[in-house]
Amino acid sequence: MVVGRRDGRRELSSEELERDMERDTPFRRFRQRLQGRREAARQQPEPADEPQLCEHLVAAPARDVGSPSTCEEHTDEDGPVVHLRTCLACGYVGCCDSSRGRHATTHFEKEGHPVMQSAEPGESWRWCYVHELLG
């Protein structure tokens, strides 16, 4: 069946389209390139399920940090504490970057302790400030 187009050009019938695909046409070359890319993508190694950890995260495994109730340096002028983080080097408890005080980051900048762990209930993720990696 041949179908007309609004621009006055005629569309190919399914038989004509099939013949075009078999000949050496730009469409066929495009399909071949696309097929080659799909095959190459299938041969790529699967991404590892385990995240890559830096030496700081390897050296500071997640542990029970308890349930701290407040940031050690937070004042009334800092506003509310959003989330708490615990330094895995010394146990310092600071507020996250969503809190105005940003005391966990300030602790890293002052002390150089690279890894903080979330102190929120049910969370055990860690953050390496040096490499900006989640572990």
What is the tens place of the pLDDT at every residue in 36-92?
A: 777 777 776 666 666 689 999 999 999 999 999 999 999 989 899 999 999 999 999
Element at 110 (helix H, strand E)? helix 103-111
**Would you say residue 13 has pLDDT above 90?**
no
Structure tokens at 68: 């701290």
pLDDT digits (tens, 9 = 90+) for 80-135: 999 999 999 999 999 999 999 999 999 999 999 999 999 999 999 999 999 999 99
pLDDT of the residue at 43: 77
Of 3.40.190.10, 3.40.1390.10, 2.40.50.1070, 3.30.40.10, the CATH number of 55-134 is: 3.30.40.10
Short-list 76, 4, 107, CA closest to 129: 107
Distance (Å, whole) CA 56 – CA 106: 18
Instruction: Sketch the domain layout of the chain as residue ranges.
Output: 1-44, 55-134
C-alpha distance from residue 111 to each of 19, 72, 82 (Å): 72, 15, 22
Q: Is the pLDDT of residue 26 over 80?
A: no
